[in-house]
Structure 1
Amino acid sequence: MRTARLLVAAATATVLTACSGGGSVDGAPGGSGVRDPYFPKAGNGGYDIGHYDLTLAFDPDAGHLDGTATITARASRDLSVFNLDLKGLEVEKVTVEGRDARFNRAGQELTVRPARELGDGETFRTTVRYSGEPVTVTDPDGSEEGWLPTEDGAVGLGQPTGSMAWFPGSHHPSDKATYDLRVTVPKGLGAVSNGELADETTRDGRTTFTWHTAEPMSSHVVTVAVGDWETDRSTTGDGLPVYTAVDPQQAEASRAVLKRIPEVMEWAQENFGPYPFSSTGAIVDRVEDAGYALETQNRPYFPGAPDTVLLVHELAHQWYGNSVSPKTWRDMWLNEGFATYAEWLWEEDEGGDTAQETFEALYDGTYYPDEDANASIWAFPPADPPGAEDISASPVYQRGAMVLHKIRRTVGDDAFLALLRGWAGAHRHGNADTGDFTAYVEKSAPDEDFTQIWEDWLYGDGRPENS
């Protein structure tokens, strides 16, 4: 969830020049971007990344980051040149398969020419050594991401492409990978990331935290949060590890809601199916440290203590958005519409408003106290935001959830629950777009006609008739 989200679109075209050793080779270049409709330069073509091994050292007082990224990838064509996304920071050296490679910087593109051509299907390792002061990125909607300085450290938040501010890679949700991440910080501070804490060692006044993520992860939900933390480890009733890290100033305010994580996880698995990851939890920072919560994988990030409904929203994203990730940023409603509808289901099951009552309040314009906020729901269809600045706007969330409710009313409660679970299972650890979803719904309920829902509610302009 980003209540006002999105990132920077394109960058300047890349022109390769020799910057360090290596000879010339023949062959085809990989693409500088996967031509996402809103962020055409995000991600890169010609290869698929399987694993990131990141070694970081951060000095909060100087705001300085030293990094080494070793990226294991598989070429999907013969490659003489390939690109990585990296915004800011100084690249000191690049090697491919242990040999020095020539490289060039242009905008967010780090273009690499290996010493020899890489063959189609070949697995190769690229190591990038870099350093500098990571940048904070301002998105088209005015929100900030990338590397955000905080009162006692920093936090890396990446949706949609801000992770390129602190490590090189293919920063598009269509290219998922596993991660090993080591972060060294001054003794007394902590570094929290995704997955499981594999090691913690202190030497010469500095502590290194090693985190391992075994399940595929899109770079936009990778995080590193450096600061003073109160940490807690526990398990859910079925043995799933729970790891929370809370800023001491937020500890008291967060305690009650974080204790409900096992309860929320049990409820979510009943509704959405088996949990797709190997641990859960939360990171709670100070209120002023970021302007939004984000569904960072395994443990969502919150600026200040969340309420239970927000916790439900971000944990629901672990199924819808993190495990089932969008093929492009046009498909953002598949993240936010599902997580918003999870809020409706939770409220319904907790004895609050039913999903039907929430739907009616949104449709009738009585949901928000502000008239403009109610009108904004109908600004554009959820499956087709007008631009990058709109992918986290109200229609993507609320009208996206209304689409799901219309499906529920059409197929019935039991079939809808089966659909929620089946969709999460069918695309577990993968990517999907709106066309995949509509086809799945139609296949799941072949006797129903969804034409009006797709045409009027999913793709239609304005406020549809509510028949």
Structure 2
Amino acid sequence: MRRAATAAALSLTLAVPLSAPLPASAATGGVPGAPGIGDVYFPDYGNGGYDVKHYSLKLDYQPGTDRLEGRAALLATATQTLSRFNLDFLLDVREVKVNGRAAAFARTGAHELEITPARDLPRFLPFVVEVAYAGVPSSVEVPGIVRPWIKRADGALALGEPEVAWWWYPSNDHPADKATFDVTVTVPEGKQVISNGVLASRRTARGTTTFRYVMDKPMATYLAMLYIGDIEVHRTRSSTGLPVTTAYDVTLGPRMEFAKASVERTPEVIAWESSVFGRYPFSSMGGSVVNENVGFALETQSHPVYDSVFFETGPDISVVVHENAHQWFGDSVALKQWRDIWLNEGFATYAEWLWSEKEGTGTAAELANALYDEIPADHPRFWVRVPGDPSPEFLFYASVYWRGGMTLQALREEVGDQDFFAILRAWARIKQHGNGSTAEFVSLSEKISGKQLDALFQTWLYTPGKPASPPGAVPSTAARKGLPASYESHKRFHELLHGPA
């Protein structure tokens, strides 16, 4: 599938009234699209038979009742002749149109909206789906999934991984199908709205304010965020001229100072990461700090969201480095399969270690070895849960982060600094705004280094048990006087994310 929206496709979205039918085709013999995109961990996530290019969302939200009314328009291309297709969605649907014609729809499965257009959709041709819907997202539950829509006293927060889109917009919900976004939200006057990308417009009339955000680079559906409420918002520009939006829950209290001391450094962090990974891949940057005890930070595209708990005892630059490293590794270069989550989390963890190395508070090798030494070989979970195939239940377990980072340190030791950093930059450049897999990363590493690396990746990513040798070529902690200065803060950050190893 092609990932980037073409100029012609975007032109169609903006120039053709969505109520006007697109040219029909005489093609027949369509078959239903698959109700899943083919993920080995989450087989019913996403859908088959089409590729979304653009989402246009127009939303009206009432904070007091948590009532969300929306109209979504999806520009997509059929990858087969379609007689029927699915979207992932949970709220009540009032009407569906395909190419301007009323379409039949029905609920199937836990989160599927099955749509039957008035006529088959020809392969390789674009089509537009309009869905009118409404509901109270905080009242919707799916067994076994933590509800990612959080009703707040003053608004709402949509934030989660791998599930979140179902609660507020219909989608092909899998990172393998990325698209651009245009999100317009109307709220009572005085409320603020934060979403991904550039704030294109804001207008107030008759007691309401309407915010329009544009994300002009392809984005995975789980990376779309929405934050509504009483929020202190700062809008500036970076040294390179990009808009910077930082936002803080007004109820942060003593955490506010520490949060600002960290998140306001985002342009500095991104400037450094750009020097290591290559040009920053998006047109805006920033971050929001929420007071909701969600227990995690998330790399929502161009605008990460941080739980205020990270700033409970002081500033925490590690979390800012981690989530913004994801802008290259996880956001711009997204996963093809959730099984390869270490390509996101191992890389962002290693970025923290590189920051520590830059700051002189411990090299990446020292931090990798400190963790290797501290976690015993007979740990009941850590060395058994391999980062290259962690299972759906342990998608965000400590080994995905730490052993994923150790894998990159082992690679660095094997190929040398010159080739190692060339590999990271090439991965970010070649796969920019697309998707990647572990096999492709291994292949690229071998091509650039000229070395056969299957054994290294097999040992660190896929072999249960503690590897015989540490990932870094430095003495073990037993032979050194103390740990790197950044070790405790780094360890605390990860324990906040997912508890002790």
TM-score by length of 2: 0.83
Native 8 Å contact 2:89 2:170 kept in 1: yes
Q: Percent identity among equivalent residues?
A: 44
Give, in angstroms, the shift of residue 340 of structure 1: 0.3
Q: Distance in 2 between matches of 1:289 and 1:149?
A: 13
Within a 5 Å distance, the mapping from 1:411-430 to structure 2 comes to 411-430=415-434
Please state whether the residue corresponding to 2:412 is helix, strand or coil. Answer: helix
Deviation at 1:451, TM superposition (A): 3.1
Q: Deviations over 1:273-327 (max 9, x none)?
A: 00000010001111x3422110000110011165100000000000000000010
* 1:257 and 2:262 are equivalent in the alignment: yes
Call closer, same or farther: CA 1:319–1:373 in 2, change over 3 Å. farther
Equivalences for 1:432-447 in 2 at 5 Å? 432-446=436-450
Please state if 1:31 is matched with 2:34.
yes
Residue in 1 aligned with 2:275? 270
Is the alpha carbon distance of 1:394 and 1:372 closer, same or farther for their aligned partners in structure 2, counting shifts above 3 Å?
farther
Identify the match of residue 406 of structure 2 among 389, 402, 416.
402
Q: Contact between 1:151 and 1:289, CA under 8 Å: does it hold in 2?
A: no
Alignment match, 2:482: none
Q: Aligned residue for 1:335? A: 344
Whether the aligned pair in 2 keeps the contact of 1:381 and 1:458 (CA below 8 Å) is yes
Aligned length: 433
Aligned to 1:194: 196
Match for 1:126 among 122, 126, 129?
A: 129
Alignment partner, residue 11 of structure 1 = none
Residue 250 of structure 2 is matched in structure 1 by 248
Which residue of 1 is the match for residue 300 of structure 2? 296
Which residue matches 1:178?
180
| Post-superposition CA distance 1:218-255 (Å, at most 9, x none) | 00100010111111111222222211111123343322
> For the residues of structure 1 that align with 2:143 and 2:281, how far apart are their CA atoms?
30
The answer as to whether partners of 1:137 and 1:146 remain within 8 angstroms in 2 is no
Amino acid in the other structure paired with 1:345: L
Stretches of structure 2 lacking an aligned partner (at least 5 in a row): 1-27, 471-501
Deviation at 1:146? 2.7
Provide the aligned C-alpha RMSD in A.
1.8
| Aligned partner of 1:111 among 92, 99, 114 | 114
2:232 to 226, 230, 233: 230
Match of 1:460 among 456, 459, 463: 463
Taking the aligned partners of 2:455 and 2:33, their CA distance within structure 1 comes to 41
Q: Confirm whether residue 57 of structure 1 aligns to residue 66 of structure 2.
A: no
Paired with 2:134 and 2:226, the residues of 1 have a C-alpha distance of 16
Instruction: Name 2:385's counterpart in structure 1.
Output: 380
1:84 corresponding residue in structure 2 = 87
1:357 aligns with 2:366: yes
Match of 2:355 in 1: 346
Q: Is the 8 A contact 1:158 1:222 kept in 2?
A: no
Q: Deviations over 1:312-365 (max 9, x none)?
A: 000000000000001010010000000000000001111111111111111111
Q: Residues 466 and 295 from structure 1, CA distance in 2 versus in 1: closer, same or farther, beyond 3 angstroms? A: same
> SS state of the match for residue 281, structure 1?
strand
- Corresponding residue to 2:287 among 282, 291, 311: 282
Query: What SS does the corresponding residue of 1:167 show, helix, strand or coil?
Result: coil
Contact 1:158 1:219 in 2 (8 A): no
Q: Quick check: 1:77–1:121 contact (8 Å CA) kept in 2?
A: yes
Partner SS for 1:82? strand
- TM-aligned CA deviation for residue 161 of structure 1: 2.4
Residues in 2 aligned to 1:466 and 1:78: alpha-carbon distance in whole angstroms: 53
**Deviations 1:191-242, CA, capped at 9 Å, x for gaps:** 1000000111112211111101100000010001011111111122222221
Give the letter aligned to residue 94 of structure 2: E
Which residue pairs with 1:316 in the alignment?
325
Cα distance in structure 1, aligned partners of 2:275 and 2:346:
19
Q: The residue matched to 1:81 in structure 2 has which SS?
A: strand
Distance 2:117 2:150 in 1: 33
Say if 1:357 and 1:375 are closer, same or farther in 2 by CA, change over 3 A: farther
Aligned amino acid, residue 351 of structure 1: G
- C-alpha distance in 1 between matches for 2:31 and 2:430: 35
CA distance in 2, matches of 1:356, 1:293: 25
Instruction: Decide whether aligned partners of structure 1 residues 372 and 389 sit closer, same or farther in structure 2, where only a CA change above 3 A counts.
Output: farther
CA deviations on 1:409-440 (whole Å, 9 max, x unpaired) are 01111221111111111100000111111111
Asked if the contact 1:27/1:78 (under 8 Å) is kept, the reply is yes
* Runs (5+) with no aligned partner, structure 1: 1-24
